[in-house]
Amino acid sequence: MTLMVDYCPRCGTVYQKNFRKMCNGCSNELDSTMKRCMDHLWRYPNSTTEELSQAANVEITELYQFIKEGKFSFTYPKLTFPCECCRQPIRQGRICNSCTGSFKEAFPVPAATVPAARTSGTRTSHKTLFTSRGSSRR
């Protein structure tokens, strides 16, 4: 018999494994934090990340993680987190569009690794149709 236990990634206590991958205490705390955030956003949908952090009494880094994980809908346009390169506010991904462009310019993809475009030649395909009588037609 094996025990299905693990260490909680948030607090380090031993817990019985579950689908949330954290102990019941941390799970309840996370639910309470999300409820406070959603209650504030329901009343003030144009809140910024900083305003939400202060109003819901939640660490800004925890809010950044929630936004990255997609726990908030895109209907809240002012919820952002910083780009990993230039720290500009973004809503999704890891880096902003300007940093993405900079990386593409700095590290171009060699032409040999880009797959060749298909030629405009015609392709023929032969399909076989099997009927219930066992005969086949093309």
Q: What does the H/E/C string look like for 38-105?
A: HHHHHHCCCCCHHHHHHHHCCCHHHHHHHHHCCCCCCCCCCCCEECCCCCCEECCCCCCHHHHHHHHH
Q: What is the domain range of residue 72? A: 5-107
Asked, for residue 124, whether it belongs to a domain, the answer is no
Asked, for residue 88, whether it belongs to a domain, the answer is yes
Task: Give the chain's domain count.
Answer: 1
Asked, for residue 42, whether it belongs to a domain, the answer is yes
Asked, for residue 13, whether it belongs to a domain, the answer is yes
Asked, for residue 128, whether it belongs to a domain, the answer is no
Asked, for residue 35, whether it belongs to a domain, the answer is yes
Asked, for residue 112, whether it belongs to a domain, the answer is no
56-89 burial by CB neighbour count: b if 16+ within 10 A, else e? bebeeeebbebbeeeebeeebeebbbebeeeeee
Half-sphere exposure of 84 (CA within 13 A, CB side): 8
DSSP letter at 18 equals -
Q: Tens digit of pLDDT per residue, the chain (138 long)?
A: 677 999 999 999 999 999 999 999 999 999 999 999 999 999 999 999 999 999 999 999 999 999 998 998 888 989 999 999 999 999 988 999 999 888 888 888 777 665 655 555 566 666 665 666 655 555
pTM of the complete model beyond 0.85: no
Asked, for residue 122, whether it belongs to a domain, the answer is no
